[in-house]
Amino acid sequence: MFPKGIKRNGQAGKNSVEWTSKYGSVVTAAWDIATSDGMNEKGLVANLLWLVESKYPEPYNSGNVKYLAISLWAQFVLDNFATVSEAVEYFKKGEVEVLTDFIAGTEEYGTMHLSLSDATGDNAIFEYINGKLDIHHSKDYTVMTNSPPFKEQLTLYSYWKNIPGTIMLPGTNKAPDRFVRGTFYINAIPKTDETRLAISSVFSVIRNISVPLGFTTPNEPNISSTRWRSVSDQKNLVYYFETATTPNTFWVDFSKIDFSETANVKKLSADNNQTYAGDASGLFINTDAFKFQSVGE
């Protein structure tokens, strides 16, 4: 749990962007070096996923550009924007660019794309392709998986949408197949204002397109075990979460959280098979904020 009012640096060397968070957020930290998933107090949701085709800008080519480490990409958005449109308009200006590096302690180069959604139902996908930022912005873009780039995912779906999903769907664990299945099922499940049923239905779709625990494909980091799943209720501001190694779903109710500037950073550990069930809002403990990985670190 991050309160608002936190001063941050983009951790990207010289010309790093600096800001003070406008909004508090609840996030999922990957390896305690990056924000990979979360929702802020305005209902803006950010999700990072692996995209091996990503290629980021060459750094420091322009003195007018500020830089942001990929570890902070999702957090920067959650800290600064209330809606997808705000974020899209900001990044279109080209004033800030994302830089990446090897993930600490590994030989994997961090290549991610970012999806955003908000309480109005708006969505956008941000991808760095050939050194330039591509933004796909539409309320229709409700599913994103890993490879290929989103433009190609849409092309693949244009083929499959002509084949009745109740008769045949692609069934492998590859990202294009998961994209097709996710898009079919998210549009096939009943639309309802019954919150419990809606949350359960969305979780069921995500589970259907998850990669089974224990399954990995050598040299393909975009095909590896799903480690967690989250669903965000952006109207009621509740963040639902489950890890792949425990049997229960738990959630965080934002109405029970103090996001004021005087509040503490708090943490709920889920890295050692800890088991929670139901409302876990009161189980967070005060902690020092994790350190975001810097580019070149």
The CATH number of the domain holding residue 257 is 3.60.60.10
Q: Does residue 95 fall inside a structural domain?
A: yes
Q: Does residue 2 fall inside a structural domain?
A: no
Q: Does residue 205 fall inside a structural domain?
A: yes
Q: Does residue 295 fall inside a structural domain?
A: no
Integer angstrom CA distances of residue 156 from 124, 137, 145, 179, 220: 18, 18, 12, 9, 20
Distance CA 275, CA 2 (A): 22
Q: Does residue 229 fall inside a structural domain?
A: yes
Q: Does residue 297 fall inside a structural domain?
A: no
Number of structural domains the chain divides into: 1
**Tell me: the pLDDT tens digits for 187-242?**
999 999 999 999 999 999 999 999 888 777 766 665 778 889 999 999 999 999 99
* CA 104, 126, 42, 279 torsion-angle sign: negative
Tens digit of each residue's pLDDT, the chain (297 residues) = 999 999 999 999 888 999 999 999 999 999 999 999 999 999 999 999 999 999 998 887 767 899 999 999 999 999 999 999 999 999 999 999 999 988 887 878 889 999 999 999 999 999 999 999 999 999 999 999 988 999 998 888 787 777 777 777 888 888 889 999 999 999 999 999 999 999 999 999 999 999 888 777 766 665 778 889 999 999 999 999 999 888 899 999 999 999 999 999 999 999 898 999 999 999 999 999 999 999 975
* CA 142, 133, 22, 103 torsion-angle sign: positive
User: Which residue range(s) make up the domain with 199?
Assistant: 7-286
Letter for the amino acid at 189? I
Q: Does residue 151 fall inside a structural domain?
A: yes
Strands (E), the chain: 7-9, 18-20, 25-30, 34-40, 45-50, 66-69, 96-99, 112-117, 123-129, 132-137, 228-233, 238-243, 250-253, 266-267, 278-279, 285-286
**Tell me: the pLDDT tens digits for 157-182?**
787 777 777 777 888 888 889 999 99
Pairing mode, strands 228-233 and 238-243: antiparallel
Q: Does residue 206 fall inside a structural domain?
A: yes
